[in-house]
């Protein structure tokens, strides 16, 4: 999660609610349109951490050490300084509660040797999970115009976390954790205010607005909802509650009700707006601008996924749409006293 700008505009709206056992769609709007994931990115960072734990490549007590780069990531943070130790479990807790960007970068560097190499791993895993429209450029979700996803892809990732790592999924319902005498609280307030909620992740950057992937279980039924584009955390959360309520009602046999997001005004994300432009636009201008922005965002994705040739950065995605092979030979340790980060 990045700094919340005053008077933050809503990003382009997308939403999807599905029941995970049947993949039954209970609500859908713009679910395949390109969006910026913001800190929802950390869901994939955690997926790769959980996978490494299950494969025995790391343990919860292994220690990574913050580099100059990871310690310099902008808020949210837990305040890591260069050389500070961070256990794998502390990193997990920092991501699921306060969405710490310094911890996310430290985990990525520890697992892959560098954040670009880790981002390439993230994108490869996204393809394996069927997330065909998603590209990752960092471990945290800090702003990057080429880091994109869709509501449907985020649903797939949420479902994969639930299905593949049920033993680790309870981390997402952690209310707070302590690090160096400070207490960090979970940004996902649905955990406190929505019956059955037990995860998953919030996010915000100016380009996306306030995002949320939420999971809730009632009477043996689990729904996963995705919302992009809120203009405040509270309005995003209220909309998610409405969508989940309606989803559970449909499961009980009731007719779906039309849901309107109060923040769905057709705003353009700031990364795609024109300098000096004023809001709100007229209805006709909104439609033209939304169409132009979506086309522009798709163009970014097409370039990234290789539909048009481009020069791929080292550790990124190749011109043919395949993630470039990153050199990954970080030294790993089973001891909490030994650094597993790559040489810096």
Size of the chain, expressed as the number of residues it contains: 344
The whole-number pLDDT of residue 285 equals 43
Is residue 325 annotated as involved in ligand binding? no
Query: Which of 14, 42, 76, 215 is labelled catalytic?
Result: 42
| pLDDT score for 264 | 76
39 is catalytic: yes
Number of domains in the chain: 1
CA-CA-CA-CA torsion for 245, 251, 257, 262, nearest 10 degrees?
30
pLDDT at 265: 59
Which residues of the chain, if any, have pLDDT below 50?
1-7, 267-344
Q: Is 74 in a helix, a strand, or coil?
A: coil
Kindly state the DSSP code that residue 149 receives in the 8-state scheme. Answer: B
Q: Domain for residue 123, yes or no?
A: yes
Which CATH number goes with the domain that contains 213? 3.40.710.10
Does residue 271 fall inside a structural domain? yes
Whether residue 211 lies inside any domain: the answer is: yes
Domain that holds residue 115: 14-176+185-304
pTM score: 0.77
Give the SS3 label for residue 270.
Answer: helix
State the CB neighbour count (10 A cutoff) for residue 50.
19
Q: What would the two tokens of residue 130 be?
A: 């069927």
Examine the residue annotation and report whether 335 is marked as an active-site residue of this protein. Answer: no
Is residue 215 part of the annotated active site? The answer reads no
Q: What is the pLDDT of residue 179?
A: 95
User: Quick check: is 3 in a domain?
Assistant: no
In a domain, 196, yes or no: yes
* Residue whose structure tokens are 């019956």: 195
Task: Classify residue 245: in a domain, yes or no.
Answer: yes
Residue 154 parent element (H or E): helix 151-164
Which member of 67, 76, 99, 208 is catalytic? 99
Query: Would you state the pLDDT for residue 299?
Result: 46
| Separation CA 110–CA 25 (nearest Å) | 38
Residue 337 lies inside a defined structural domain of this protein:
no
Q: Is residue 197 part of a domain?
A: yes
Residue 39's closest CA among 202, 235, 226, 151? Answer: 202
């Amino acid at each position: 999660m990045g700094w919340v700008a005053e008077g933050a505009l809503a990003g382009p709206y997308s939403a999807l609610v599905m029941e995970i056992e049947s993949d039954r769609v209970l609500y859908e709007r713009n679910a395949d349109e390109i969006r910026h994931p913001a800190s929802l990115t950390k869901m994939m960072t955690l997926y790769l951490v959980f996978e490494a734990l299950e494969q025995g490549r790391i343990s919860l007590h292994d220690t990574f050490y913050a580099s100059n780069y990871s310690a310099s990531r902008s808020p949210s943070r837990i305040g890591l300084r260069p050389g500070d130790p961070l256990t794998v479990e502390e990193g997990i807790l920092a991501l699921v509660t306060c969405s710490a960007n310094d911890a996310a970068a430290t985990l990525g560097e520890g697992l892959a040797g560098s954040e670009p190499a880790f981002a390439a791993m993230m994108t490869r895993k996204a393809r394996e999970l069927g997330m065909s429209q998603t590209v990752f450029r960092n471990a945290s979700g800090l702003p990057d115009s080429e880091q994109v996803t869709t509501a449907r892809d985020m649903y797939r990732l949420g479902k994969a976390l639930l299905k593949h790592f049920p033993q680790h999924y309870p981390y997402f319902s952690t209310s707070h954790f302590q690090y160096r005498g400070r207490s960090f609280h979970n940004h996902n307030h649905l955990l406190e205010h929505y019956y059955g909620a037990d995860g998953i992740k919030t996010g915000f950057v100016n380009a996306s607005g306030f995002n949320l992937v939420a999971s809730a279980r009632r009477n043996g039924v689990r729904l996963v909802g995705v919302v992009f584009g809120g203009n405040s955390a509270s309005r995003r959360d209220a909309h998610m509650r409405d969508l989940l309520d309606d989803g559970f009602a449909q499961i009980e046999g009731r007719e779906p009700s039309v849901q309107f997001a109060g923040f769905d005004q057709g705003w353009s994300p700031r990364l795609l707006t024109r300098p000096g432009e004023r809001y709100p636009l007229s209805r006709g201008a909104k439609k033209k601008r939304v169409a132009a922005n979506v086309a522009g965002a798709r163009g970014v994705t097409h370039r990234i996924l290789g539909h048009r040739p481009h020069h791929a950065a080292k550790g990124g995605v190749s011109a043919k749409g395949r993630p470039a092979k990153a050199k990954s030979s970080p030294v790993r340790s089973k001891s909490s006293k030994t650094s597993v980060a790559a040489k810096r």
